Amino acid sequence: MYSRFIGSGRQLFSTIYSTVSQQQRRQFNVHEHTAMSLLRKNGILVPDFELASSADEVYTFARELERRTGRPQVMLKAQVLAGGRSRGEWSSGLAGGGVRLAAGADEARLLAQGMLGHRLRTRQTGPEGRPCHRLLVVEPAKPVREFYLAVAMDTGGSGGPILMAARLGGTGIEEAASSVVARPLGPEAALSGAGAAEVAERVLGLAGREAESAARFAQQLCRMFSASDATLLEVNPAAVDSHGQVLCLDCKLNVDSNARFRQPELCSARDWAQEDPRDATAAGCGLKYVGMDGDIGCLVNGAGLAMATMDIVKLHGGEPANFLDVGGTVTAKQVAQALDIIGSDGRVTAALVNIFGGIVRCDVVAEGLVSALQRLRPGLPVVVRLQGNRGSEARQLLRREGGAAVSVCECLDEAARMVVSLASSSKSSSSRAGGSG
């Protein structure tokens, strides 16, 4: 049943993770404490934990956990939305990463002072890191063994949910991705008792009480994945304790943004401070935006056209700074807000607006552009290609009121060539200006 998946484990794992990290499927991550609380609510075993936002709270919770568990040691886990926390670096200079074992409440408070209010840099955050405002104070576990278990959407294959499992869990799972075995699930991510038992015994190598607990655990994860409209529910590691029970030691939960009307509690738990501020601004304006690392801003209507626009920019040697789809019912105000977002990105050296007017009226788009151009960063060139519904009127308006920074085109290929050339010239001018200083 699993043989056809084993050989592609690394590719499958990489596909899912690249999609998750880029967040181009309109999904968002929730913090570990939110995911752990949801696991506990769904009857899945998790260690005892408390959430702290100050060093004094860390001390208090560490003492409370000691009274409840009889052990002074506690784990401190930075609530930062990034992988690789245990190997991260703190802006405070604190060594040891974002997951620390403290011998007692006093040490926990001292460690918290170097974590809370500081930024944690990991391989997923970039050099700027992510702010840490809260710590999870957790009872340390003593697992007999650990393994990996996740439910995810197979975006690179079937498009449906799959269950992924591996006998090894923890921080090295990405390096051992070839050992991950995948099992396709039904549309509602249902896992039968027989299927769960097969995963526990054949894939995870468990037997007896441990296998029964792991099978039950896998079924609970599948049900929670479906009920929470998740795109990824990952437990890494899952642990078997000395009593043969399986519990979650770390959890990652990504939720489909389109399910916000069904998941108000999860959506309210979204931490915008952990995300690109451009993404947060765009979401508040009702725009679909994904920040990237290039220098050519893109403002387009329709996801397919937006992706094609980025492709043609790259074809001519440019690098897109963003994916931005203003949609089919966009207003002039939203168009202006979209161009404001692009212009606020200091890395952008030129912008390309590509609109095909169908439901969208090109003259409405042009009105929004004219409004935003009045406050756009001086010297930022904007290339505009408008075709379709009221396109002629829109081009006339832009030529009349757009100003010297605007170039109006009718051909997409011409527009892409022009914006790449303008971006290159803008970068060269900036370099000369910097050198002369």
Catalytic annotation, residues = 148, 234
CA dist 207 and 211 (Å) reads: 5
Q: What share of residues in the chain are helix, strand, coil (percent, to 5)?
A: 40, 25, 35
CA angle (223, 225, 227) in 5-degree steps: 65
Beta carbons within 8 Å of 339's beta carbon, 6+ residues apart: 299, 351, 353, 368, 369, 372, 373, 376, 382
208 contacts 115 by C-beta, under 8 angstroms = no
CA dist 96 and 344 (Å) reads: 36
Closest CA to 376 of 413, 335, 422, 437: 335
CA dist 273 and 133 (Å) reads: 10
In single-letter form, the type of residue at position 291 comes to G
Do the bridges between strand 74-78 and strand 251-256 make them parallel or antiparallel, or are there none, so unpaired? Answer: unpaired
Closest CA to 99 of 141, 145, 147, 144: 141
In single-letter form, the type of residue at position 326 comes to V
Closest CA to 28 of 290, 270, 262: 270
27 three-state secondary structure:
strand
- Measured from the Cβ of residue 25, the count of other Cβ atoms closer than 10 Å reads 15
10 contacts 178 by C-beta, under 8 angstroms = yes
Record the tokens describing residue 363, joined without a space.
Answer: 């003259």
Among positive and negative, which fits the CA dihedral 201, 204, 207, 208? negative
**Hey, which residues does 163 pair with through a beta bridge?**
151, 183
Closest CA to 150 of 3, 16, 5: 16
**Hey, which residues does 72 pair with through a beta bridge?**
none
User: Residue 400, exposed/middle/buried by CB under 10 A (0-12, 13-18, 19+)?
Assistant: exposed
Angle between helices 391-401 and 362-373 (to 10 degrees): 20
